[in-house]
Chain A
């Protein structure tokens, strides 16, 4: 599993969120629910920017030290594109229980369903 990783090209993302449905339906039998997805797309409708974010490690507390990022001239709160499962944000935590969700590349060998479904080239599985 450590031989591959997912490469995200956010410029190719169309904000369609198909990755969210594919991820959730692969992790939960007979169920589709973006709130349970381990990949979420941050959609900035004003700037027309779409950032797929893949769930990373669990953290018990919000960061105390934060920074902002500038992407194509626009400033974003670091939390917008952070991959942690963190109490600050609803993403990557099971609704209700708060249980952390983390990307597992859909098993070993890796077969991430988000990459499979992405029709626009924003997600790719690459060998390290």
Chain B
């Protein structure tokens, strides 16, 4: 095969057996790779109704056909499993160099089954595969784990070329906010995929590969790379904003649009946004620009905090996490926000959900539903010390941190006020208030993994005007816009590209098509890819249906539906968009019917 390797490693952690299997090329073609193909494998192999933390769940790491090929921003591997946080299908996606190295070792991905009794790590060096004890690594942070594994490799030059994906203490404790970390600071962040890895007692995957990836048509592929890079270098977001300021470039923009979650979404603008903006970060804490594998954008920002109280260094914070830990907690101390983010990376937790959960806890505290005695500390809005201290407790599962480590939905429910959880399907919402950007509200409600911005980033058109500027306050046309972005994103993810390519004008199916055809030789048509995106989305929906979800779950927090806010002083008018969304999706009663399934070959 070309682009893709056509091989997947299956590892049974219960009995320690493993085997290399061929992947059916027809399936690859139909599902493109990564997210799509992984969903297909999971859907066929597990009962979607199982407990995500049981040995019956499977954990799939899977590259896209463009991962590691030199396609710009083609660095992503995806983790597909049933999500502990949401109980939906999970696909969490991560950059860095781990995915490309796994492919160089000769595998598109790994399927983990069962559950080990003792902590283990999986070591891969091309054809050599070995399960090793990880007892000594258990309890270590992701950074310590990375260092200890590399120290174990005799040849330090081989160690440097080795790539690692691991969990921290949060994953070991099966926190539903746990993520999987690669390159110390890159995360397969959302939906609690790290907890599944922890439930299987799998601490780390260690990969070294030197085999090479074959391309179907190297010349055509290079032409496609050039075309893609020319586009990325012409787009203001991908050539200027992200390289200079990283994702926090959005802080000022989103605040000016009056859609910035503040005080747990009680307000939609923050008076001190300037103190936590990308521009301020660039002036004060950014030390270096960094790129994932073969990325022409390089949005990652290495940062360092000198303030003795929050001293530390790492990468980020990223936009969502600046907001959820910052304005949403009423905190304008960039040092504290960065420190909490570093802790999340080291302990292996999703920064967005941790911020969202702490913001919910702060509102519960301010309203007297959680007391200082419950929490072991004052959790008032604006308490920067509490943000950092509670993040650490959550990551280590200590005290009240253990209660909060399963996310805001379960916390708010436990203390009798589920309405104060700001998310969908138990996942904390990202940092755009849909009362002022209606399409994002429909996207949160219908996303297959709960409130999520990277399943259909309509912000690109509604606020940033990337492909076409549309009015963020109206509901007309938003159902179609959301569907377009959701399906396109499914293809970008499955291909192994970073979603940020879609923040570039005109980077749509044609660009992905050119790259995919050069790498795989599949000669995809655009229509075929559009349909594949639709197929992936529908299959994810089917998974969720079998997991027990109904259309009543496609909703938003009460606050967003009932309390007007934002630039139009409106609520999110979900009821106006949702029926049209189902209709345009071709769904009867919220789910694909026989006709739609037949159209997509999903019967």
Contact = CB atoms under 8 A, between A and B. Distances in A.
Interface of A: 14-18, 21-22, 24-25, 28-36, 42-43, 45, 48, 50, 79, 88-91, 95, 117, 119-120
A36 B426 CA distance: 46
A15 B163 CA distance: 14
A35 B163 CA distance: 14
Name which of A16, A25, A120 has the most chain B CB atoms within 10 A of its CB: A16
Contact of A17 (B157, B217, B294): B294
Interface stretch (B7-15, B206-214, B349-357): B206-214
B282 interface: no
A17 B293 contact: yes
A16 B161 contact: no
Interface in B279-307: 287-296, 298, 300, 302
A16 to B, nearest CB: 3
A45 B183 contact: yes
B214 A30 contact: yes
Contact of A14 (B97, B213, B218, B289): B289
A28 B183 CA distance: 28
Given A18-B72, A32-B68, A42-B160, A25 B218 contact: yes
A17 B222 CA distance: 16
B229 interface: yes
Nearest to B243: A120
Interface of B: 2, 68-70, 72, 97, 100, 104, 146, 155, 157-158, 160-161, 183-184, 209-218, 221-222, 225, 229, 233, 287-296, 298, 300, 302
A33 B290 contact: no
A33 B104 contact: yes
Contact of B184 (A17, A29, A32, A45): A45
A32 B233 CA distance: 23
A43 B212 contact: no
A90 B213 contact: no
A95 B210 contact: yes
Given A25-B70, A32-B70, A48 B302 contact: yes
A38 B417 CA distance: 60
Contacts of A117: 70, 225, 229
Given A16-B295, A18-B72, A90 B157 contact: yes
Given A17-B294, A79-B157, A90-B157, A30 B215 contact: yes
Contacts of B288: 48
Nearest to B3: A32
A25 B68 CA distance: 12
B69 A32 contact: yes
Contacts of B229: 117, 119
A90 B225 CA distance: 28
9 contacts: A16-B292, A16-B298, A18-B293, A21-B68, A24-B212, A25-B70, A25-B222, A36-B212, A91-B157
B217 A30 contact: yes
A15 B290 contact: yes
A16 B157 contact: no
Contacts of B213: 31-33
B64 to A, nearest CB: 14
Contacts of A14: 289-291, 295, 298, 300
A15 B69 CA distance: 16
B220 to A, nearest CB: 10
A43 B160 contact: yes
A90 B158 contact: yes
A48 B287 CA distance: 9
Contacts of A28: 212
